Structure 1
Amino acid sequence: MTDASLPSADEAAFIAAARADDTARFALMTERHRRELQVHCYRMLANYEDAQDLTQETFLRAWNKRASFQGHAALRTWLYRIATNACLDFLKKRNDRTPVPTEVADVGSEVLYLQPYPDRMLPEDPQESVVTRETIELAFIVAVQRLPPRQRAVFILRDVLGWPAALAADALELTVASVTSALQRARVTMREQLPDRRLDWRRPAPDELSDDERAVVRSYVDAHERNDLDGLMSLLRDDLRFVMLPEAGTSVITAKDAVDGWVSGGLFQRGYDDWRGVTTMVNRMPAAALYRRTPDDPEYRLFTIAVLHIVDGKIAELTGFDAAGKPWLDLPPTL
């Protein structure tokens, strides 16, 4: 990401729109950046609905600050700067978003505000690594939440978006030395949180599902529809990590514990034995949307969405989310 010394045609047009108080033209030029800014806010906040709100806040702040834009930086860079600081201001006000110390954090268990990100809302023409699969997957988003907010911002700007240290320092009103130090600390935490993952976020990664992933998610749906507990168990790695959000205290780290919990909760027993499912994708990950029909209801109603991380044909991580009342997932409420 580089900034020209003179305004480009886009920046010049934006300056003209700002000076003329041309709200329609201003909105048109900023709107084209909505999806990538929303992904940026999501990485900062791990919550789709908050990311929507903060993206809108970014556009409001941009309008209010329009006179300050002189074209010395690219419009995109300017908007990212505003979005980053809007997220930092949001985090300052939210006591429930304080990072859990890494030494006591269990994967997914404390990030109760985590929400899945629908693939249909990802940018269609991503620049650089804005939506590289490995930087939008749930494990990455959870790991980023372990970082203090300003350290988090530095890490995303530097290692995900590839900003030079001087540009990140200017955006955050820090010294280059402070940015470098924060990035070093952030990288240590990310290595601790994602020990088995590739940590070179700037290198392109495949964004399409593998044949194995597609087969496993279909089998996961099929096992529910057939009430096949053994078949479901066979899809799980012994060291499965499972969490159900936004419920507290549901994190487990073995397949046996997960299945025992599902059975004790009524899975495949009366009221939880009539399922339909559809395969989908969120966070560029395979997912199954499960619909349940109770004995007194003629329709299958959207119940949960299970997001799967699949390794060597087995489910290594399963993150379940309450899917009801979330139209932004773009799933039909009934089948």
Structure 2
Amino acid sequence: MVHIGAARKEPTHKRRERTTVSTFEEFAALAEPYRRELLAHCYRMVGSVHEAEDLVQETYLRAWSGYRKFEGRSSLRTWLYTIATNACLTERRQRSRRPLPSGLGPASDDPDAPLEAASGDVLWLQPIPDMMVTPGPGDPAAIVTSREQLRLALMASLQKLTPRQRAVYLLREVMEFPAADVAAMLETSAAAVKSSLQRARAALTKVDTIHEETTELYAQDLLEQYMTAFEKADLAALERALRKDAALEMVGYSTWFSGLDTCLRYLAPVLGSPGIWRMIPVRAGGQPAAAAYLRRDDGIYEAFGLAVLTVTPGGISRITVFGKEDSLPWFGVPSTLR
């Protein structure tokens, strides 16, 4: 006869392992839906795609490490934002702000002069692909995506704020967390949050963050005009697509240009002859953009960089060009074209 008490018990370490797996699956199911919006938040905080990815990964590791102690005094989403924001603040204390060339000095009025390279210690603002932060159907990030502000102009302006002001502004104005929640997240008072928000708002009114709404169809049409002008080396077509006050900046150089005539004088030799350039349409931070390829002597088109267009009802108001290393790896485009 076999006694019940004699049945073989499961080893303790096996039971613990099973419990850990079950807890992790629960954590992953609850936390994973917030990954895209946390990535957008971290990107807005630090201005770098690869840093934002690292910070989101760090956020999830910290959250999993402390999940068993999470008491639910706040929502899981608020808790994740608390971890992510503070991770970003720690990162910002170790690094300087990320500007665009137009944030370093006045525009040049001499397009014939050599471009002036910025100092090697400048960390540049990077563009983020829409596909990395656009939520799918039913994704809770869809609630904030309609208010998501990832345009380059605003991103560059946010870089002018102190890291703490940036955190308060994003949590209150973009994510719309209550002031009391933000105070708890940053371990400060509601009065301090209000003061930081007022200072952030005041600082942002001093910079050009105005965004004139355009239809998606119109934005795509301007992008097509831009790409065709380069591929056909059609300076007149490019002129028709640009506004009179258009600006051109190339990340990596402190030189940038403002005004249609100045921009066209610089771009005329860049266009070259028909067939030198090829373009692939993409989207970056809610803006139309083009991955650019330059033809080599062997006929292969090699990735050159990314042009992000700021479009308005009057045409393209700004072209921001990023080098291929600082932009294209995240956009899923090939390194060469045949």
Shorter chain as denominator, the TM-score bin is 0.7 to 0.9
Q: Which moved more, 1:166-175 or 1:184-193?
A: 184-193
Q: Residue type matched to 1:248 in 2? A: Y
Match in the other structure for 1:97: 97
- TM-score, normalisation: structure 1: 0.81
Q: Which has the larger radius of gyration?
A: 2
SS of the counterpart of 1:193? coil
d(CA) in 2 for partners of 1:105, 1:162: 33
Q: Residue type matched to 1:75 in 2? A: L
Q: Does 1:249 align with 2:250?
A: no
> Per-residue CA shift, 1:109-155, capped at 9, x if unaligned?
99852111111111223547632366111111111111100000000
Match in the other structure for 1:82: 83
The answer on whether the counterparts of 1:129 and 1:160 sit within 8 Å (CA) in structure 2 is no
d(CA) in 1 for partners of 2:59, 2:309: 32
Match in the other structure for 2:182: 168
Between Structure 1 and Structure 2, how many residues are aligned?
303
- State the structure with bigger RCO (CA 8 A, min sep 6), 1 or 2: 2
> Per-residue CA shift, 1:246-288, capped at 9, x if unaligned?
x13132222222233334xx51337x96111122211111112
Measured at CA, do residues 222 and 98 of structure 1 come closer, stay the same or move farther in structure 2, by a change above 3 Å? closer
> Per-residue CA shift, 1:296-317, capped at 9, x if unaligned?
2232122121111111241111
**1:103-182, aligned counterparts within 5 Å?**
112-122=123-133, 123-124=135-136, 125-127=139-141, 130-132=144-146, 135-182=149-196
The answer on whether the counterparts of 1:302 and 1:324 sit within 8 Å (CA) in structure 2 is no
Gaps in structure 2 of 5+ consecutive residues = 1-16, 108-117
Q: Does 1:45 align with 2:36?
A: no
Q: Residue type matched to 1:141 in 2? A: M
Match in the other structure for 1:56: 57
The answer on whether the counterparts of 1:209 and 1:285 sit within 8 Å (CA) in structure 2 is no
The answer on whether the counterparts of 2:36 and 2:141 sit within 8 Å (CA) in structure 1 is no
d(CA) in 2 for partners of 1:98, 1:185: 20
Measured at CA, do residues 317 and 103 of structure 1 come closer, stay the same or move farther in structure 2, by a change above 3 Å? closer
SS of the counterpart of 2:71? coil
Match in the other structure for 1:13: none
Gaps in structure 1 of 5+ consecutive residues = 1-16, 199-205
SS of the counterpart of 2:271? coil
Q: Residue type matched to 1:157 in 2? A: L
Measured at CA, do residues 106 and 34 of structure 1 come closer, stay the same or move farther in structure 2, by a change above 3 Å? farther
Q: Which moved more, 1:134-143 or 1:148-157?
A: 134-143
Match in the other structure for 1:233: 239
d(CA) in 2 for partners of 1:306, 1:103: 18
Correspondent of 1:267 among 265, 270, 275: 270
> Per-residue CA shift, 1:208-243, capped at 9, x if unaligned?
953221111101111111111222122211211221
d(CA) in 2 for partners of 1:53, 1:298: 38
Measured at CA, do residues 136 and 251 of structure 1 come closer, stay the same or move farther in structure 2, by a change above 3 Å? same
The answer on whether the counterparts of 1:324 and 1:333 sit within 8 Å (CA) in structure 2 is no
Measured at CA, do residues 311 and 103 of structure 1 come closer, stay the same or move farther in structure 2, by a change above 3 Å? closer
Match in the other structure for 1:186: 200
Segments ≥4 residues shifted beyond 6 Å: 102-107
d(CA) in 1 for partners of 2:288, 2:215: 7
Q: Residue type matched to 1:187 in 2? A: R
> Per-residue CA shift, 1:87-119, capped at 9, x if unaligned?
00000111x32889x997669x99852111111
d(CA) in 2 for partners of 1:258, 1:288: 18
Correspondent of 1:224 among 227, 230, 237: 230
d(CA) in 2 for partners of 1:274, 1:128: 40
The answer on whether the counterparts of 1:47 and 1:114 sit within 8 Å (CA) in structure 2 is yes
The answer on whether the counterparts of 2:59 and 2:80 sit within 8 Å (CA) in structure 1 is yes
Match in the other structure for 2:28: 27
The answer on whether the counterparts of 1:281 and 1:287 sit within 8 Å (CA) in structure 2 is yes
SS of the counterpart of 2:257? coil
The answer on whether the counterparts of 1:44 and 1:87 sit within 8 Å (CA) in structure 2 is yes
> Per-residue CA shift, 1:174-227, capped at 9, x if unaligned?
1110000000111111122136348xxxxxxx8x95322111110111111111
The answer on whether the counterparts of 2:27 and 2:67 sit within 8 Å (CA) in structure 1 is no
SS of the counterpart of 2:145? coil
d(CA) in 1 for partners of 2:103, 2:321: 24
